[in-house]
Structure 1
Amino acid sequence: MKIYDYQGKKNVSGDMIRQLRVKNRMSQNDLAARVQVEGVMLERDSISRIESGTRFVADYELFVFAKVLGVDVASLLEFQEKK
Protein backbone atom coordinates (compact mmCIF):
# COMPACT_ATOMS: atom_id res chain seq x y z
CA MET A 1 0.00 0.00 0.00
CA LYS A 2 1.36 3.41 -0.94
CA ILE A 3 1.52 5.83 1.96
CA TYR A 4 0.37 9.32 1.03
CA ASP A 5 1.15 12.59 2.68
CA TYR A 6 0.39 16.23 2.07
CA GLN A 7 3.07 18.81 2.78
CA GLY A 8 4.94 16.23 4.83
CA LYS A 9 1.99 15.18 7.01
CA LYS A 10 -0.40 12.25 6.93
CA ASN A 11 -3.38 14.38 8.02
CA VAL A 12 -4.46 18.02 7.91
CA SER A 13 -6.56 17.91 11.09
CA GLY A 14 -3.86 17.30 13.70
CA ASP A 15 -2.89 20.93 14.22
CA MET A 16 -6.51 21.99 14.76
CA ILE A 17 -7.17 19.02 17.08
CA ARG A 18 -4.17 20.09 19.19
CA GLN A 19 -5.31 23.74 19.27
CA LEU A 20 -8.84 22.80 20.32
CA ARG A 21 -7.60 20.31 22.91
CA VAL A 22 -5.38 22.95 24.51
CA LYS A 23 -8.17 25.57 24.31
CA ASN A 24 -10.43 23.13 26.16
CA ARG A 25 -7.69 22.51 28.74
CA MET A 26 -7.48 18.80 28.01
CA SER A 27 -4.41 16.64 28.15
CA GLN A 28 -3.81 14.04 25.46
CA ASN A 29 -4.87 11.42 28.03
CA ASP A 30 -8.12 13.33 28.67
CA LEU A 31 -8.88 13.51 24.95
CA ALA A 32 -8.10 9.82 24.47
CA ALA A 33 -10.43 8.92 27.34
CA ARG A 34 -13.28 11.02 25.95
CA VAL A 35 -12.83 9.54 22.48
CA GLN A 36 -12.88 6.04 24.01
CA VAL A 37 -16.15 6.82 25.79
CA GLU A 38 -17.58 7.56 22.33
CA GLY A 39 -16.51 4.08 21.17
CA VAL A 40 -13.24 4.75 19.32
CA MET A 41 -10.28 3.04 20.96
CA LEU A 42 -7.40 5.51 20.73
CA GLU A 43 -4.53 5.73 23.20
CA ARG A 44 -2.57 8.84 24.20
CA ASP A 45 0.21 7.82 21.81
CA SER A 46 -2.24 7.81 18.90
CA ILE A 47 -3.43 11.31 19.84
CA SER A 48 0.19 12.47 19.89
CA ARG A 49 0.87 10.98 16.47
CA ILE A 50 -2.32 12.51 15.02
CA GLU A 51 -1.39 15.94 16.36
CA SER A 52 2.14 15.70 14.96
CA GLY A 53 0.84 14.53 11.58
CA THR A 54 2.51 11.13 11.58
CA ARG A 55 -0.75 9.13 11.72
CA PHE A 56 -3.70 9.05 9.35
CA VAL A 57 -7.12 9.97 10.74
CA ALA A 58 -10.11 7.89 9.68
CA ASP A 59 -13.33 9.65 8.76
CA TYR A 60 -15.21 8.16 11.73
CA GLU A 61 -12.43 9.40 14.04
CA LEU A 62 -12.93 12.94 12.70
CA PHE A 63 -16.62 12.77 13.63
CA VAL A 64 -15.78 11.68 17.17
CA PHE A 65 -13.05 14.32 17.59
CA ALA A 66 -15.50 16.98 16.42
CA LYS A 67 -18.15 15.78 18.88
CA VAL A 68 -15.75 15.61 21.83
CA LEU A 69 -14.17 18.99 21.03
CA GLY A 70 -17.55 20.66 20.43
CA VAL A 71 -16.99 21.72 16.82
CA ASP A 72 -18.12 20.63 13.39
CA VAL A 73 -16.00 18.34 11.23
CA ALA A 74 -15.24 21.10 8.71
CA SER A 75 -13.46 23.16 11.35
CA LEU A 76 -11.05 20.27 11.97
CA LEU A 77 -10.05 20.36 8.32
CA GLU A 78 -8.96 24.00 8.33
CA PHE A 79 -5.21 24.35 8.05
CA GLN A 80 -2.52 26.81 7.06
CA GLU A 81 -0.73 26.33 3.74
CA LYS A 82 3.05 26.16 3.96
CA LYS A 83 4.66 29.07 2.19
Structure 2
Amino acid sequence: MFKIKAPDGTNNLCGKNVKRLRENYNPPLSQRALAKKLQLAGYDVDNHFIRRVELGERFVTDIEIKMLAECFQVSTDALLR
Protein backbone atom coordinates (compact mmCIF):
# COMPACT_ATOMS: atom_id res chain seq x y z
CA MET A 1 0.00 0.00 0.00
CA PHE A 2 1.30 3.42 -1.00
CA LYS A 3 1.86 5.91 1.83
CA ILE A 4 2.38 9.62 1.44
CA LYS A 5 5.76 10.72 2.77
CA ALA A 6 7.82 13.91 2.69
CA PRO A 7 10.87 13.89 0.38
CA ASP A 8 13.08 12.96 3.35
CA GLY A 9 10.86 9.98 4.23
CA THR A 10 9.15 11.55 7.23
CA ASN A 11 5.42 11.80 7.82
CA ASN A 12 5.31 15.61 7.84
CA LEU A 13 6.96 18.69 6.38
CA CYS A 14 6.95 20.81 9.53
CA GLY A 15 8.80 18.74 12.14
CA LYS A 16 12.26 20.18 11.57
CA ASN A 17 10.85 23.72 11.56
CA VAL A 18 8.92 23.11 14.78
CA LYS A 19 12.14 21.95 16.44
CA ARG A 20 14.09 24.93 15.08
CA LEU A 21 11.43 27.41 16.22
CA ARG A 22 11.17 25.77 19.64
CA GLU A 23 14.93 25.83 20.18
CA ASN A 24 15.27 29.41 18.90
CA TYR A 25 12.37 30.70 20.99
CA ASN A 26 13.40 33.29 23.58
CA PRO A 27 13.96 31.69 26.01
CA PRO A 28 14.25 28.27 24.31
CA LEU A 29 11.39 25.90 25.04
CA SER A 30 11.65 22.26 25.98
CA GLN A 31 9.17 19.91 24.33
CA ARG A 32 7.29 19.78 27.62
CA ALA A 33 7.21 23.61 27.89
CA LEU A 34 5.90 23.91 24.33
CA ALA A 35 3.19 21.37 25.07
CA LYS A 36 2.23 23.33 28.19
CA LYS A 37 2.10 26.59 26.18
CA LEU A 38 -0.23 24.91 23.68
CA GLN A 39 -2.36 23.46 26.49
CA LEU A 40 -2.76 26.94 27.99
CA ALA A 41 -3.98 28.08 24.56
CA GLY A 42 -6.66 25.36 24.72
CA TYR A 43 -5.09 22.56 22.67
CA ASP A 44 -5.01 18.99 23.98
CA VAL A 45 -1.38 17.99 23.29
CA ASP A 46 1.50 16.62 25.34
CA ASN A 47 5.27 16.43 25.00
CA HIS A 48 4.95 13.09 23.15
CA PHE A 49 2.96 14.88 20.43
CA ILE A 50 5.78 17.43 20.06
CA ARG A 51 8.48 14.73 19.98
CA ARG A 52 6.67 12.67 17.33
CA VAL A 53 6.05 15.75 15.16
CA GLU A 54 9.68 16.85 15.39
CA LEU A 55 10.97 13.38 14.53
CA GLY A 56 8.59 13.13 11.58
CA GLU A 57 6.87 10.08 13.05
CA ARG A 58 3.43 11.70 13.11
CA PHE A 59 1.23 13.10 10.39
CA VAL A 60 0.20 16.68 11.20
CA THR A 61 -3.29 17.97 10.41
CA ASP A 62 -4.08 21.39 9.02
CA ILE A 63 -5.60 22.34 12.37
CA GLU A 64 -2.35 21.40 14.14
CA ILE A 65 -0.29 23.39 11.59
CA LYS A 66 -2.46 26.43 12.34
CA MET A 67 -2.13 25.85 16.09
CA LEU A 68 1.67 25.62 15.92
CA ALA A 69 1.95 28.68 13.65
CA GLU A 70 -0.14 30.74 16.07
CA CYS A 71 1.92 29.55 19.02
CA PHE A 72 5.19 30.64 17.37
CA GLN A 73 3.58 33.71 15.74
CA VAL A 74 4.71 32.69 12.27
CA SER A 75 2.85 31.96 9.05
CA THR A 76 1.82 28.44 8.19
CA ASP A 77 4.15 28.76 5.19
CA ALA A 78 7.06 29.26 7.60
CA LEU A 79 6.29 25.87 9.15
CA LEU A 80 6.01 24.08 5.83
CA ARG A 81 9.15 25.44 4.12
Q: How many residues align structurally?
A: 78
Q: Which residue of 2 aligns with 1:23?
A: 24
- State whether residues 40 and 61 of structure 1, in contact with CA within 8 Å, keep that contact through their aligned partners in structure 2: no
TM-score (norm 2): 0.87
Q: Which amino acid aligns with 1:13?
A: C
Q: Which residue of 1 aligns with 2:55?
A: 52
* Alpha-carbon separation, structure 2, partners of 1:2 and 1:41: 30
TM-score (norm 1): 0.85
Render the CA deviation track for 1:32-54: whole Å, top value 9, x for unaligned: 11112222211101100100000
Aligned-residue CA RMSD (Å): 1.5
Unaligned runs of 5+ in 1: 79-83
Q: Which residue of 1 aligns with 2:6?
A: 6
Q: How has the CA–CA distance of structure 1 residues 20 and 3 changed in structure 2, closer, same or farther, with 3 Å as cutoff? A: same
Q: Which amino acid aligns with 1:42?
A: V
* Identity percentage of aligned residues: 32
